[in-house]
A and B are shown apart, each in its own frame.
Chain A
Amino acid sequence: MLRASAEVTTTPLDPRSITDRSVDPLLPHGVVLLDFVDAVLGGDEPGRTRARTVLRDAVGPTGLVDASGVIANFEMMNRIADATGMPVGKGTLKRTSEWRKLIGIDSLNHL
């Protein structure tokens, strides 16, 4: 989905930033969005408050709510996928092989 949305909108994006925080995602406000995800899922409340304030200043309160919604939704979907052994289709595996190598996520496939 990330690859497709970046391609359709010709948005610059470095996918390595998904797993390597030293890489700039290139996307507008990409760094603060990634900081926010990290703070929500792994930080303490002071860290979340800081990341929330920076993100709200960058993308506005509507963007903050949208980002919180996306994280929440994928917290649900990740759990469902993991708990039901959801396989990734062969077509998707073929289409995404280059990106998966770049990002280095094949080790997460435990099916």
Chain B
Amino acid sequence: MFDFDAAPAKVRTDIRRLFRREWDRLALPGTWWTGRERVDIARAARRARFGGEDSPSSLPSMAIEAAETVGARPASVRRPWVEATADAVGYNRYVEIVGIASRVAAVDTFHLGVGAGLEPLPEPEPGEPSQTDEPLARPGAGWVPMVGGASITQALSLVDAESVAQEDMHGPLYLTYEGMAEFDYVAGLSRAQMELVAARTSAINECFY
């Protein structure tokens, strides 16, 4: 799993470990969805982006629509749609969908970049979601409740495990939150080159943020 043997460039160990960890996390019961449901969220998001046959899903229709929208058409999301989705499944479950669909998009895009085939989704693990509430989350400037002020690093903080997973991806793929202050950072690319790539990605995705 995530060996990248056929890729034309050697993929760093930390990225391979990160993706294996993400697939383990995806298969296990989450905070508000079971392992089966989490894998179905990933499948719906991936199918909306790349196509493929419909398959039976354990999810309610609004959850499927949310996974498809975040996975393939994120720039189309507007506040009334988020509110309608949250009315149907709850803000907690919506935020977990956003976390899963966005990380699967990241994993798949990395594969496209290095020239590797998409990794098959994991087999779900049995068990029940923890249903752990985040008592400090409050409605604020964003469209979903968050802990503290609205910031991109807090966007998924209503569901702590999703926020932790977001930060877990951010470091190996780009920079750690702390490392973002190093504007003269140089590795395989210079920081300015990395930011040009980031800015173009956001422009293509029509993301103002």
Q: Which of B27-35, B54-62, B126-134, B190-198 contacts A (4 or more CB under 8 A)?
A: B190-198
**Are the C-beta atoms of B114 and A2 separated by less than 8 Å?**
no
Q: Which of these, B10, B155, B197, B208, contacts A105 with CB under 8 Å?
A: B208
**Are the C-beta atoms of B9 and A81 separated by less than 8 Å?**
no
User: Knowing A2-B198, A37-B197 touch, does A65 contact B142 (C-beta < 8 A)?
Assistant: no
**Are the C-beta atoms of A85 and B193 separated by less than 8 Å?**
no
Q: With a CB–CB cut-off of 8 A, which chain B residues contact A60?
A: 188
Contact residues, A16-70 vs B (CB, 8 A) = 17-19, 25, 27-30, 33-34, 36-38, 40-42, 48-49, 52-53, 56, 59-70
Contact residues, A75-102 vs B (CB, 8 A) = 75-88
**Are the C-beta atoms of A34 and B190 separated by less than 8 Å?**
no
**Are the C-beta atoms of B102 and A80 separated by less than 8 Å?**
yes
Residues of B in contact with A (beta carbons under 8 Å apart): 8-12, 15, 69-71, 74-75, 77-79, 82, 95, 98-99, 101-103, 105-107, 109-110, 112-115, 141-144, 146, 150-152, 155-156, 166, 169-170, 172-174, 180, 183-184, 187-209
Name B's interface SS: helix
**Are the C-beta atoms of A62 and B188 separated by less than 8 Å?**
yes
User: Knowing A63-B188, A75-B109 touch, does A8 contact B183 (C-beta < 8 A)?
Assistant: yes
**Are the C-beta atoms of A56 and B8 separated by less than 8 Å?**
yes
Q: How far is the CB of B112 from chain A (nearest CB, A)?
A: 5
Q: How far is the CB of A50 from chain B (nearest CB, A)?
A: 11
- Bound state CA distance, A63 and B9, in angstroms? 9
**Are the C-beta atoms of A9 and B112 separated by less than 8 Å?**
no
- Which residue of chain A lies nearest to B115 when distances are taken between CB atoms in the complex? A52
**Are the C-beta atoms of A2 and B192 separated by less than 8 Å?**
yes
User: Knowing A27-B193, A40-B109 touch, does A81 contact B155 (C-beta < 8 A)?
Assistant: yes
Q: How far is the CB of A30 from chain B (nearest CB, A)?
A: 6
The 4 closest A-B pairs by CB, nearest first: A68-B113, A85-B143, A62-B188, A61-B9
- Bound state CA distance, A14 and B142, in angstroms? 32
**Are the C-beta atoms of B196 and A61 separated by less than 8 Å?**
no
**Are the C-beta atoms of A108 and B207 separated by less than 8 Å?**
yes
Q: With a CB–CB cut-off of 8 A, which chain B residues contact A65?
A: 9-12, 15, 114, 188
**Are the C-beta atoms of B98 and A33 separated by less than 8 Å?**
no
- Which residue of chain B lies nearest to A103 when distances are taken between CB atoms in the complex? B203
**Are the C-beta atoms of B77 and A82 separated by less than 8 Å?**
yes
Q: Which of these, B95, B172, B192, B195, contacts A84 with CB under 8 Å?
A: B95
Q: Which of these, B15, B198, B208, contacts A88 with CB under 8 Å?
A: B208
- Which residue of chain B lies nearest to A20 when distances are taken between CB atoms in the complex? B203
20 CB contacts below 8 A, A to B, read A1-B183, A9-B190, A15-B199, A27-B193, A27-B196, A28-B193, A30-B193, A33-B197, A48-B112, A59-B188, A62-B187, A62-B188, A69-B173, A72-B173, A79-B105, A81-B155, A84-B143, A85-B79, A85-B143, A86-B142
